[in-house]
Structure 1
Amino acid sequence: MTVLAPDYQRILGVLEERQPAGQGPLKAKEITVELGLQTTSAKVEGVRSKARRLAERGWLVQETSEMFSASRRPVAVPGAVPSA
């Protein structure tokens, strides 16, 4: 996860913490609150934009247009030997 910028790591961390507890996906506004940010439209839209980018790259799952959850898809690690 260290390949991600700190803001992206924090978003991913919020959603990964929920997964073992069986908690469902979050809206961008809820992620914003969990990050301790103000819920102004600018902050929420910034989090939503970052979460969408994480989903496009396979780090998160975009459940609906508004809901995001942690992905359990394996992510390629540079230099790692693929298993057969």
Structure 2
Amino acid sequence: MPSVLGLLEAREKKVREEVAWLREEAEQVHAALGEAECALQRLVDARVTVAEVLAGSPAVVAELARSAVAGSVVPERAEGMAASVLAPDYQRIVSVLESEAAREGMRCQQLAVALGLEMVPAKVEGLRSKAKRLVERGWALQVRPGVFTALVAPAG
């Protein structure tokens, strides 16, 4: 006949495993929810931005169309072009890269913390992709592999 303590320990072990499994599931659902919320916000921001641009002057629309890269929300940077033409996510990245904290450059993990993002690989890698896109289009510099800073140091 099994002991009562042995039965309790076995039950405790089973419940601990179930709790661990449920926590893992909850983390995955939370991550998926965060990504879906980000995608939704990008779509809302895109719709608002397009409406603003279309309501603006034809010259602005022509300039954005000329500088756009197919399939991208990051236009090639031209002389006098402000970061306000970028999507909000990219504007936030440029803003952080222009801050004093990024003067010597920031790794993507530091950039994620500065942006208030969750430190999970998916978020950091997404941020790395965006930072590299900003470099490719002339909005930022990669000073060392994986280290990014503003294109021009902020005045002051």
Q: Which residue of 1 aligns with 2:139?
A: 59
Which one has the bigger helix percentage? 2
Q: Which residue of 1 aligns with 2:95?
A: 13
Of the three residues 111, 116, 119, the one matched with 1:39 is 119
Which one-letter code corresponds to 2:135 in the other structure?
A
Q: Which moved more, 1:22-31 or 1:54-63?
A: 22-31
Structure 1: segments with no counterpart, 5+ residues: 73-84
Which one-letter code corresponds to 1:7 in the other structure?
D
- Per the TM alignment, residue 61 of structure 1 is displaced from its structure 2 partner at its CA by 0.2
TM-score, normalization: structure 2? 0.43
Q: Which residue of 2 aligns with 1:82?
A: none
In structure 2, the CA distance between the partners of 1:41 and 1:68, relative to structure 1 (3 Å rule), is same
In structure 2, the CA distance between the partners of 1:47 and 1:22, relative to structure 1 (3 Å rule), is closer
Alignment partner of 1:69: what SS?
strand
- Per the TM alignment, residue 56 of structure 1 is displaced from its structure 2 partner at its CA by 0.5
Distance of 1:22 and 1:32 partners within structure 2 = 12
Distance of 2:84 and 2:129 partners within structure 1 = 20
- Per the TM alignment, residue 24 of structure 1 is displaced from its structure 2 partner at its CA by 0.8
Percent identity among equivalent residues? 50
Distance of 1:23 and 1:6 partners within structure 2 = 22
- Per the TM alignment, residue 23 of structure 1 is displaced from its structure 2 partner at its CA by 3.2
Larger radius of gyration: 2
Structure 1 stretches of 4+ with a deviation exceeding 4 A read none
| CA RMSD after TM alignment | 1.8
Residue 70 (structure 1) aligned with residue 70 (structure 2): no
